[in-house]
Amino acid sequence: MSRLLVRGGLVTLAVLTGLVLIAPVLVIIPMSFSDSSFLEFPPTDWSFRWYENFFSDPSWRASTLSSLKIAVLVTITAVILGTAAAFGLVRGRLRAKAAVAGLVIAPLIVPYVIVGLAVYAAALQVGLTQTTLGFVLVHTALGVPFVTVNVAASLASFDQRLEQAAMSLGASPLTTFLRVTLPIIAPGVAAGALFAFITSWDEVVVSLFLSGPELTTLPVQMWSGVRVAIDPTVTAVSSLLLLFTITAFAALGVARLIRNRRLARSHR
């Protein structure tokens, strides 16, 4: 009896928690279709005007393109640097390996406000504020830990005898890497790449320091659209972003599911 009560309590709490977690995400979507300039819920009239505004306004378009460009470049550099680091940390023998490993996860530990302040001061010195290069340099540092951590996890469970097997069968070290190692650790690299992309794409705090009239990213423009004067276009952008990230992660989840299913089936 008391067990049932405990279960009931747990379920109630979980439902409430779930609501708190999901509700804000869900409430913003209907609001984005409101026709009103005042954000209201539920909307009285429906329209696509904030979506139209987002796609037609040159400043929104510019910041979106900047963010996209930066995030793509960040993903590429973070994947290359982060994957190499994972190989080094998992397979290498290195003096002060713990220090290097600590350095790699430092961007996860240092509060972004401090990172922002520090890189802003440095970027002012070398003239990299409001430049794509400046953003890419800093966002890469923020995204690299995710790549390294995910690839390192894949590598730790990778059986290195597969590489020996490939070489004994006549594959050069490069071919072995491309045909055997890389395909097998690919899920880790993909997860890392996705996180690196999202890190750059969503980043607000550090970007606030680096942005300006010359170059603004999408999250920074959203921030001013929320902070300065509430611009309902932000609801439309938010909904699009939600759609975008949820699709990306759902794709990753489905890919993992299919992979696991296939493995599970084959273990029968």
Partner 1 sequence: MSSSATTAPDRRAPSRGAEPDPRPAPPGAGSPAPPGKRRRFFLTDGWGALALPIAGYLLVVLIVPLAIVFARSFTDPTLGLGNYAAFFASPIYTDVLVNTFVTAITVTLITLLIGFPYAYLMTIAPPVWRSVLLVVVLVPFWTSLLVRSFALVLLLRDTGAINETLLSLGLISDPITMVRNFTGVLIGMVQVMLPFMVLPLYATMRGIDRRLLQAAEGLGARPAFAFWRVFVPLSAAGVAAGSLLVFIQSLGFYITPALLGGPDDVMLGELIVQQVSTVLNWGFASALAAVLLIVTLVLLAIASRFIDVRRIFWKEQ
Partner 2 sequence: MTTTTELAGAPVRVSGVTKQYRDARALDQVDLDIESGEFITLLGSSGSGKSTLLNIIAGFTDCDAGVVEVDGIDITKTPPHKRGLGMVFQHYALFPHMTVFDNVAFPLRRRRTPKAEMVRLVEEALDIVQLGHLGKRMPQQLSGGQQQRVALARAIVFRPKVLLMDEPLGALDKRLREQLQLEIKRLHRELGITFVFVTHDQEEALAMSDRIALLRDGRIVQIGTPEELYEQPAERYTAEFLGESNLFSGTIVNGVLPYGEHGSIQVRDGSADGAGSVMVRPEHVSVLRPDEQVPVGCNALRGTVREVIYLGSGRRAEVTLPDGTHVVARTPADRRHSRLVPGEPVVVTWAKQHGQVVADGPPADEAAIPAGRAAVPA
Contact 38, 249 (CB under 8 A): no
Contact 145, 201 (CB under 8 A): no
Residue 40: strand pairing partners: none
Q: Which amino acid is at 254?
A: V
Query: CA-CA distance, 265 to 259, in Å (whole number)?
Result: 10
Contact 155, 90 (CB under 8 A): yes
Binding partner of residue 23 among partner 2, partner 1, none, CB cut-off 5 to 8 Å per kind: partner 1
Q: Which residues contact 219 (CB under 8 A, 6 or more apart)?
A: 67, 201, 202, 203, 204, 207
Q: Please, what is the minimum distance in Å from the beta carbon of residue 260 to partner 2? A: 12
Query: Which of 159, 214 has the CB closer to partner 2?
Result: 159
Query: Which of 57, 163 has the CB closer to partner 2?
Result: 163
Contact 154, 91 (CB under 8 A): no
Residues 224-263 that bind partner 1 (CB under 8 A): 226-227, 234-235, 238, 241-242, 245-246, 249
Query: CA-CA distance, 187 to 256, in Å (whole number)?
Result: 8
Site string for partner 1, 99-138 (x = CB under 8 A): -xx-xxxxxxxxxxxxxxxxxxxx--------------xx
Query: CA-CA distance, 72 to 200, in Å (whole number)?
Result: 9
Residue 105 binds to partner 2 (criterion: CB under 8 A): no
Q: Please, what is the minimum distance in Å from the beta carbon of residue 266 to partner 2? A: 4
Binding partner of residue 158 among partner 2, partner 1, none, CB cut-off 5 to 8 Å per kind: partner 1
Q: Which residues contact 89 (CB under 8 A, 6 or more apart)?
A: 97, 100, 101, 104, 148, 152
Residues 144-173 that bind partner 2 (CB under 8 A): 159, 161-162, 164-173
For partner 1, the binding residue among 33, 39, 53, 224 (CB under 8 A) is: 39
For partner 1, the binding residue among 8, 17, 65, 169 (CB under 8 A) is: 17
Residues 66-105 that bind partner 1 (CB under 8 A): 81-82, 84-85, 87-95, 97, 100-101, 103-105
Residues 159-198 that bind partner 1 (CB under 8 A): 159-161, 164, 191, 195, 198
The residue ranges that bind partner 2 (CB under 8 A) are 159, 161-162, 164-173, 175-176, 179-180, 183-184, 262-263, 265-267
